[in-house]
Amino acid sequence: MSSSDSPEISKLEIIDGDYVLEDVPHLSDYIPDLPTYPNPLQDNPAYSVVKQYFVHVDDSVPQKVVVHKDGPRGIHFRRAGARQKVYFQPDDVHACIVTCGGLCPGLNTVVREIVCGLHHMYGVKKVLGIDGGYKGFYAKNTVYLNPKVVNDIHKRGGTILGTSRGGHDTTKIVDSIQDRGINQVYIIGGDGTQRGAALIFEEIRRRGLKVSVAGIPKTIDNDIPVIDKSFGFDTAVEEAQRAINAAHVEAESSDNCIGLVKVMGRYSVQSKRNLWAGFIAMHATLANRDVDCCLIPESPFYLEGSGGLFEYIEKRLKENGHIVIVIAEGAGQELLSESIQSMTDASGNKLLQDVGLWLSQRIKEYFSKQRKMPINLKYIDPTYMIRAVPSNASDNVYCTLLAQSAVHGTMAGYTGFTCGLVHGRHTYIPFNRITEKQNKVVITDRMWARLLSSTNQPSFLSAKDIVEDKTDAGQ
Ligand SMILES: Nc1ncnc2c1ncn2[C@@H]1O[C@H](COP(=O)(O)OP(=O)(O)O)[C@@H](O)[C@H]1O
Ligand SMILES: O=P(O)(O)OC[C@H]1O[C@](O)(COP(=O)(O)O)[C@@H](O)[C@@H]1O
Ligand SMILES: [Mg+2]
């Protein structure tokens, strides 16, 4: 067990001396003699024809699929899905859903599918929407949700429930859950939100309440570890193409033109070391092929001198007449002035300076003053446009399966878990696994090498950086 946040949340169980099941908590762990009921899905015409619809209680999914010969089989997570026995009767369920943190394509789809999953699969009628994030539990209104209310919300960006940063007060939130008689809590949000969810679960367990807490991980930055990728990420990468294409059209159409696009991707201030997430920039670049240079927080770069960015820009302008650069918002922050770096948002996330504007200015100054070379620079900042769109088809399917996993998990009495896709299989993962680390691009991995070979950009790395990053990746 490696979490410092909530060390008691996950249970490690050695199976046959062979692999380790990192299990999630269950209501029956702290409430004895809970009654169980047959899963109502067995009488549902849509599911009763499906052989083996119910997941065997012992099924698990390995965290690593590539293993060395004779190496350990490592950690497994509990497989998500409907169980034969449930711990709630439909009429007794009073569920609530909250969305927290920044926007991400697919939030509405997850909300819709939790409501419809509870209603259509389990016959649950009472589902409450919490308005405006965590603080909505104690400071805002609530709204009852049913399949009619949520019918077409997946076609809209944002979240119909509203969202916020800050405002997590565990006692007030759990008081509100208890006072309202809520017994299933669905919490959709990123790393900060899942930390908050872990605290809510701990307090619920301390009070001995029969309340299941399920997290659905949301992060447009794809910075949540363990899971294959987060919902909305595909949509964000796709939407970024429109900005990159526009930058390319502009760059191609004028002499010595630089198209610069900034996309989201920042680091977490919560982690002990500052880790970074340049996934959108990396995938958008790999998908596009018109990008000549991709700058991400994980790979430090420098501007002047041999092997620097300015030299590369000049080379591309001379060879090609134009260059397209994609930069993640968290990149190069160490090069910017320190003035704003100590400021944080309401959730404690570090506020970043606009690296796109800064880089634009530095490039213009360099070419006009030092090189006396006329250039054109078109800067496009599509960040909020990428975040505010509705999810695409594949994200909609992903959101649906995540929501259904969460519903099956809570009905089966699991609690204190996050749903996540691990090697294409849906799983239940203990909160601390999701919050203890941040996912980042590992620049000594094959994916970054693929990017470098597709853009032909300099790596900006010294031998020392490579050794340091290898150490990082192994931890
Ligand atoms: N360490 C923490 N403990 C408890 N709540 C937290 C923690 N970090 C963030 N939160 C709460 O989670 C919510 C969302 O966090 P934020 O960092 O803004 O977004 P995200 O969940 O997308 O990372 C906020 O209401 C914030 O107060
Ligand atoms: O301006 P806001 O709303 O604070 O959002 C900006 C941040 O939100 C994000 O899109 C997502 O962050 P979270 O996943 O922590 O909510 C970051 O990429 C970005 O830095
Ligand atoms: Mg976050």
Give 233-288 pLDDT, tens digit per residue.
Answer: 999 999 999 999 999 999 999 999 999 999 988 764 444 344 468 999 999 999 99
89 CA from centroid of ligand 1 (Å): 32
Give pLDDT, residue 463.
Answer: 60
Number of H helices, E strands in the chain: 16, 17
Give pLDDT, residue 412.
Answer: 98
Give pLDDT, residue 348.
Answer: 82
195 CA from centroid of ligand 1 (Å): 7
Of 405, 430, 402, the residue nearest 21 (C-alpha): 430
437 CA from centroid of ligand 2 (Å): 18
Region of 158 on the Ramachandran plot (φ > 0 left; ψ -120 to 50 alpha; else beta): left
Closest ligand to Cα 189: 1
Average pLDDT, the chain: 90
Q: Is 87 in the pocket of ligand 1 (CB under 6 A)?
A: no
Same domain, 223 and 279: no
Percent of the chain with pLDDT over 70: 90
Q: Is 79 in the pocket of ligand 1 (CB under 6 A)?
A: no
Q: Is 266 in the pocket of ligand 2 (CB under 6 A)?
A: yes
Query: Where is mean pLDDT largest: 12-16, 308-312, 430-434?
Result: 308-312
Same domain, 13 and 158: yes
Same domain, 216 and 242: no
Q: Is 133 in the pocket of ligand 1 (CB under 6 A)?
A: yes
Closest ligand to Cα 192: 1
Same domain, 401 and 368: no
pLDDT grade for 2, boundaries at 50, 70 and 90: very low
Same domain, 280 and 416: no
- Please state the domain count of the chain: 2
Identify the sign of the CA torsion 355, 357, 360, 362: negative
273 is in an annotated binding site: no
Same domain, 201 and 249: no
Same domain, 76 and 91: yes
CA–CA gap between residue 38 and residue 188 (Å, rounded) = 28
> For the whole model, what pTM was predicted?
0.92
What is the token pair recorded at 375?
A: 């250039």
CA–CA gap between residue 115 and residue 262 (Å, rounded) = 36
CA–CA gap between residue 5 and residue 155 (Å, rounded) = 37
Specify which residues 299 forms β-bridges with. none
Q: Is 199 in the pocket of ligand 1 (CB under 6 A)?
A: yes
Q: What is the DSSP letter of 117?
A: I
Q: Is 297 in the pocket of ligand 2 (CB under 6 A)?
A: no
Of 221, 223, 395, 469, which is the active-site residue?
Answer: 221
Residue 340 has pLDDT above 60, yes or no: no
Coil, strand or helix: which one is 423? coil
Closest ligand to Cα 264: 2
Of 292, 244, 237, 293, the residue nearest 265 (C-alpha): 237
Q: Which residues contact 7 (CB under 8 A, 6 or more apart)?
A: 1, 432
Of 465, 259, 453, 456, the residue nearest 356 (C-alpha): 259
Same domain, 431 and 448: no
Closest ligand to Cα 438: 3
Same domain, 30 and 140: yes
More confident site: 212 or 43 = 212
Specify which residues 218 forms β-bridges with. 231
What is the token pair recorded at 96?
A: 């609530």
Examine the predicted complex and report whether its ipTM is higher than 0.90: yes
Q: Which residues contact 149 (CB under 8 A, 6 or more apart)?
A: 115, 143
Residue with tokens 């519903």: 407
Lowest mean pLDDT among 7-11, 70-74, 208-212, 329-333: 7-11
Q: Which long-range contacts (CB under 8 A, 24 or more apart) does 404-409 make?
A: 404/113, 404/117, 404/121, 405/80, 405/81, 406/114, 406/117, 406/186, 406/214, 406/216, 407/114, 407/117, 407/118, 407/121, 407/122, 408/55, 408/80, 408/81, 408/82, 408/83, 409/24, 409/80, 409/212, 409/214
Q: What atom in ligand 1 is closest to the CA of residue 191? A: 23
Query: Where is mean pLDDT largest: 12-26, 33-47, 149-163, 297-311?
Result: 149-163
Q: Average of pLDDT values for 30-57?
A: 89
165 is in an annotated binding site: yes
pLDDT grade for 73, boundaries at 50, 70 and 90: confident
Q: What atom in ligand 1 is closest to the CA of residue 104? A: 22
Q: Is 234 in the pocket of ligand 2 (CB under 6 A)?
A: no
332 CA from centroid of ligand 1 (Å): 25
Same domain, 369 and 408: no
Percent of the chain with pLDDT over 90: 72
Same domain, 67 and 179: yes
Q: Which domain holds residue 118?
A: 3-229+391-435
Residue 31 has pLDDT above 90, yes or no: yes
Residue to mutate (ligand 1; options 98, 168, 203, 387; most atoms within 8 A of CB)? 168
Q: Is 134 in the pocket of ligand 1 (CB under 6 A)?
A: yes
Report the length, in residues, of the chain: 475
Residue to mutate (ligand 1; options 347, 350, 352; most atoms within 8 A of CB)? 347
CA–CA gap between residue 412 and residue 88 (Å, rounded) = 8
Q: Which residues contact 430 (CB under 8 A, 6 or more apart)?
A: 9, 10, 11, 22, 23, 24, 25, 416, 417, 418
Beta strands in 202-357 (DSSP E): 212-217, 257-263, 293-295, 322-328
308 is in an annotated binding site: no
CA–CA gap between residue 324 and residue 331 (Å, rounded) = 16
Residue 77 has pLDDT above 90, yes or no: yes
Residue with tokens 């299989």: 425
DSSP collapsed to 3 states, 28-81 = HHHCCCCCCEECHHHHCHHHHCCCCCCCCCCCEEECCCCCCCCCCCCEEEEECC
191 CA from centroid of ligand 3 (Å): 5
Contact 356, 350 (CB under 8 A): no
Q: What atom in ligand 1 is closest to the CA of residue 134? A: 25
CATH number at residue 463: 3.40.50.460
Q: Is 157 in the pocket of ligand 1 (CB under 6 A)?
A: no
Please report how many Cα atoms fall inside a 13 Å half-sphere around the Cα of residue 201, on the Cβ side. Answer: 33
CATH number at residue 28: 3.40.50.450
Q: Average of pLDDT values for 426-445?
A: 88
Same domain, 291 and 399: no
Coil, strand or helix: which one is 171? helix
Q: What atom in ligand 2 is closest to the CA of residue 264? A: 18
188 is in an annotated binding site: no
Give pLDDT, residue 469.
Answer: 57
Say whether 221 is catalytic: yes
